[in-house]
Amino acid sequence: MHFSSTILLLASVVGSALCVSVADIKEDIAAISTKADIVHTAVNEFNRPGLVLAHAIQNNGTEMLNAIQMIINDTKTITPNDVSEDDQKAILCAIQKLEPTFLDIVSGVTIRRPIVEGFPSEVGARELILQDMLLLRSTVIEFGKTLTTITPAVRLELTAIGKNVVDAIAPAIIAYLS
């Protein structure tokens, strides 16, 4: 008896974890926005070499990427028919609000390349930032592909935003390659 009740409890927990709603997606976007705002502020305050701030940017950037990965995972569990046209427009609106922040983060990272040169080479700051930009690029691409599967009514607009962000990452990658 105890074994069967444990199985039922486990099935209930797993089942509830797989029940992702449009509201969860909207919450995920809000979480990304919060994390992106923190990274944005930290990047803008990064005006001289300093390991404490650089480490904070790295940690906050990782949290932002984790938040994006969360929405990717959540989005994969939703069928397009579960997302109304109004919800699709709301998702688009939230992503449109995020776009300038992402563009500014990437621009800020790019123009701060000379500051990064102030770190000793053994710190590996340039390589770490390059790695982060490559990871951000691949994550944004995956996010865009996944999100557009549940938002057919706004697919073109979301694809354009994703392309803008990916295109903005390219100069950062180039800057930190050399």
pLDDT digits (tens, 9 = 90+) for 81-128: 889 999 999 999 999 999 999 999 999 999 999 999 998 888 899 999
The model carries a pTM of: 0.85
**DSSP assignments along the chain, one per residue:** -HHHHHHHHHHHHHHHHH---HHHHHHHHHHHHHHHHHHHHHHHH--S--HHHHHHHHHHHHHHHHHHHHHHHHHTTS-GGGS-HHHHHHHHHHHHHHHHHHHHHHHHHHHTHHHHTTS-GGG-HHHHHHHHHHHHHHHHHHHHHHHHHS-GGGHHHHHHHHHHHHHHHHHHHHHHH-
pLDDT digits (tens, 9 = 90+) for 14-60: 444 467 899 999 999 999 999 999 999 999 999 888 888 888 999 99
In CATH, the number for domain 20-177 is 1.20.58
